[in-house]
Chain A
Amino acid sequence: MKRAESGLSFQQKLALVVLLLFLASFFFPFYLARANRVSEDITSGLSSLSAMCFLFLMIPPLLIALYAFIPKGWISELTLTLAGILGLFFPLMVLGIVGPDVSATFGPLARYSPASGMYLYLTAVIIIFLMKPKFRLYDAVGMAIVVGSVVIVLSQGSYDRLGIVLEARNLGKRITQEVLAHIRLTFISLAISMVIGIPLALASFQSKRAKKIIFPFLNLLQTIPGIALLGLLITPLSTLSRTFPLLREMGIKGIGNTPAIIALSTYALYPIIRYSFTAFSSIDASVIQAAKGMGMNPLQVWKMVRFPLSAPGVLHGIRVALIQTIGNATLAKLIGGDGLGVLIFEGLGQASVDMVLLGMLLIIALTVASDRAFQVFIHLVTPSPLRAKAVGNG
């Protein structure tokens, strides 16, 4: 008890970190502006903002300071939620407010982007969200309001000179194309990986000898750097397509999407085989013994016992593979493939941070969305008693 009185609680320590981050963010440039896409950056700190903007930005830190001192309860939780939502809203609002100023100062081709100060500020906000014990409905509602108001402001034209908006406008339809291409690459690779991986997991489970061959090979594949694997694939694939014109017509070439898909499905094999193998082998031996003892033939043991019981584990492997493949698919661009990597690598080539940022945000959104969707899917296909078991009532 004494320690709790004299020291700070964990939540208070976190609040302190958040406060320090907020404080630091005020000493760094909040946004940077340029007269045109290639001209030099001109950074602007807090001092250049209007007093009102500054006051708004001060509200979340004050709320956090308050949170650290009020006792635990619904009031403190509300304070935390408010700090998070407002911490998300105000910087975005400030960006909308400074937009017209920037074009007034730097001319019609001017553009501006958030800078290190704002990134620090947003990092603090993310920690606020992580401090919450649970993501509740009103958090979701608050987020929706923030996103909704950003969309409205966007359509009003206040963000028109924001670098990332300008890049998105320039790219236009290509964004949708690349997002779709990214999804397609991911799904084809994942499907191939499942078709190969699950039978291999089965084989490793059934025979020790198969496992002795498959697992070391899998570990080896995992150590090859992604970019190197793409490079290695160029020569054999281009030789193949040159020798067999039919393959060339089917689109199999040394560069493009084919080597990307091969590489991606190779990487996805690891989680799929590992997780499936673990799922198969972690079934209670007594259940299998009882199943055999009751007179199930080997096929029935698989169909009625092993598959239903291992399904959640196998699906989790696929989920890990999915997340990993969405990220890795970015590399497809390096070998002439499509996908959101195009935005990132083109952005890097043109030294346009905004374009890289745009690509990155899209990949994050895609990853989070597919992860959530897949979790819901796993939840729905898992028989309810197995869900309860995960809680520890086994």
Chain B
Amino acid sequence: MDDQKKGKLMREPKKQETETKQAHTMHPILTDTHTFLTVENIGVKYGKIEALQDVSIQIPANRVTVLIGPSGCGKSTTLRCLNALVRNDTGIIRYEDPDIEGLTETELRRNMGYAIQSVGLMPHLNVEENVDLVPRLLGWPRSERAQRVEKLLKLVRLDPKVYSKKYPHELSGGEAQRIGFARALGADPPMLLMDEPFGAVDPLNREQLQNEFIRIQRKLHKTVVFVTHDLDEAIRLADYLVIMKDGKIVQADTPERVLAAPLDEFVERFLGPDRSLQRLTLFTADRAMEEALSGTEEGAASHLDDCSKQTYWQVNAQGEPIFGYTQVGGKIIRRAIVNGTHTVQQYSSLKECVSKILNLGLPSAAVVCEEGRLCGEVRFETIQQISQG
């Protein structure tokens, strides 16, 4: 308990030798925002093993920074240094905001949302009490806390009436992750630390959670540091991508620039052979979405004839797409559509759109809103244009 008082955030390095290296380890930073915190030449040793060596990052404010690398590369350790769960042996972590700079370790952690892979929901507390934990630690008044919990559950799209009294063991993996995310947002912290938060979920749910994350982040604009080992996830979510290897940073830049110009062979191999396809993960469907042509079954033939559009969508009474039509060599082709298998959402990646287009055999993919209503389409040509820059 003593180190807690000692542990002011300005963690002085034990050795002063690192100062000289500073210049050459600096990577490009985002120019459209200010820096939230600066990690300067930190190093961590577990016994004789050097988990981190000379790591320097400038975390951009209100943006998503993704740390990625093979397991054991030190990405989680770096994250834990940020909220002082791991003490760095050398180097300094500086916060631009002087208010944060003066906090003790526990105060600091309460001001940073924290979500981890296994979620770590308290099994003896219900959903409401779990989400409420940080506001409670901060001593918020009770009425304010109740409102906050309700708001957060709605934000992650879980009905407070249904979920607030449930216990963690009654939740599915995806639901638990959402609660974990809501809990991290508990006290509306300026910064979120997420340690492979979607790592333990199946791919379908994972995609869904990523969409949710993008939606919420576009609304809240938090400073997020996100650790993952999934390249797709990293490229989708990152505004600033940090690739690590053996406790060092290999390259840190926007995902676009990393994909366009990998700094060395390791990064190139890490990004894989299909970099042009990978680039499509950078963009969400809403960026390439255009208005779709839709109506009843009867309209198909006439519309496809006298219109610039190549695809016609038949919708049901609720506005959900049920069939897609296109004209090939004067013949009209009809394809049945299953929501989810053949449709994409607003925040799905263009890579996913391509997969759906190939899947269905139509020139474009249907974009549906949350309720399953058709709200637009993404044409393959548009994707082609985007991928060529």
Contacts and interface: CB of A to CB of B under 8 A. Distances in A.
Scoring B108, B116, B180 by chain A CB atoms within 10 A of each residue's CB, the highest score goes to B116
Counting from the closest, the 4 A-B pairs by CB-CB distance are A290-B120, A295-B110, A295-B109, A293-B114
Interface residues of B, number: 32
Contacts, number: 83
B107 interface: yes
Contacts of B273: none
Given A292-B85, A292-B109, 12 more contacts: A284-B120, A286-B119, A287-B121, A290-B119, A290-B122, A294-B114, A294-B133, A304-B122, A383-B124, A384-B167, A385-B167, A394-B169
Scoring B114, B124, B126 by chain A CB atoms within 10 A of each residue's CB, the highest score goes to B124
B123 interface: yes
A125 B107 CA distance: 65
A299 B106 CA distance: 12
A298 B193 contact: no
A305 B111 CA distance: 20
Interface in A281-327: 284, 286-300, 304-305, 308-309
B119 A385 contact: no
B38 interface: no
Scoring A290, A292, A385 by chain B CB atoms within 10 A of each residue's CB, the highest score goes to A290
Nearest to B117: A286
B122 A305 contact: yes
B364 to A, nearest CB: 43
Interface of A: 284, 286-300, 304-305, 308-309, 383-386, 388-389, 393-394
A312 B342 CA distance: 50
Contacts of A305: 122
A289 B116 contact: yes
Given A388-B167, A394-B169, A297 B106 contact: yes
Contacts of A288: 120
A306 to B, nearest CB: 11
Contacts of A308: 124
Contacts of B117: 286
Given A286-B118, A393-B169, A385 B123 contact: yes
Contact of A293 (B1, B4, B85, B168): B85
A388 B118 contact: no
Nearest to B134: A294
A295 B107 contact: yes
Scoring A286, A309, A383 by chain B CB atoms within 10 A of each residue's CB, the highest score goes to A286
Contacts of B169: 385, 388-389, 393-394
B137 A295 contact: yes
Given A289-B85, A388-B167, A394-B169, A295 B122 contact: no
Interface in B1-47: 1, 4
A294 B83 CA distance: 9
Given A292-B85, A294-B134, A385 B124 contact: yes
Interface string B134-169: 100100000000000000000000000000000111
A290 B123 CA distance: 12
Contacts of B118: 284, 286
B110 A294 contact: yes
A287 B168 CA distance: 12
Contact of B122 (A287, A293, A388): A287
B116 A293 contact: yes
A296 B124 contact: no
12 contacts: A289-B85, A293-B114, A294-B134, A295-B106, A295-B108, A308-B124, A309-B122, A309-B123, A385-B170, A389-B123, A393-B169, A394-B169
A394 B167 CA distance: 11
Contact of B124 (A292, A294, A309): A309
Contacts of A394: 123, 169
Contacts of A300: 137
A289 B85 CA distance: 8
A297 B1 contact: yes
A56 B35 CA distance: 92
A293 to B, nearest CB: 4
B110 A386 contact: no
Nearest to A385: B167
Contacts of A297: 1, 4, 106
Nearest to A283: B123
Contacts of A385: 123-124, 126, 167-170
Contacts of A384: 167
B349 to A, nearest CB: 29
B223 to A, nearest CB: 16
Nearest to A308: B124
Interface in B175-208: 180, 183, 186, 193
Nearest to A393: B169
A386 B124 contact: yes
Nearest to A296: B137
A108 B107 CA distance: 85
Nearest to B136: A304
Nearest to A309: B124
B109 A294 contact: yes
Given A294-B110, A294-B133, A296-B137, A287 B123 contact: yes
A151 B85 CA distance: 67
Contacts of B106: 295-297
Contacts of B4: 297-298
A294 B116 CA distance: 11
Nearest to A299: B1
B110 to A, nearest CB: 3
A1 B4 CA distance: 67
A185 to B, nearest CB: 35
A177 B315 CA distance: 86
A293 B193 contact: yes
B119 to A, nearest CB: 7
Contacts of A393: 169
A386 B123 contact: yes
Nearest to A389: B169
Interface string B80-114: 00010100000000000000000000111111001
A85 B169 CA distance: 41
Contacts of B123: 284, 287, 309, 385-386, 389, 394
Contacts of A295: 106-111, 134, 137
Contacts of B134: 294-295
A314 to B, nearest CB: 14
A298 B104 CA distance: 14
A389 B83 CA distance: 32
Contacts of B122: 287, 290-291, 304-305, 309
A309 B133 CA distance: 16
B109 A290 contact: no
A58 B71 CA distance: 73
Nearest to B4: A297
A273 to B, nearest CB: 23
A357 B229 CA distance: 69
A290 B114 contact: yes
Contacts of A284: 118, 120, 123
A293 B118 CA distance: 13
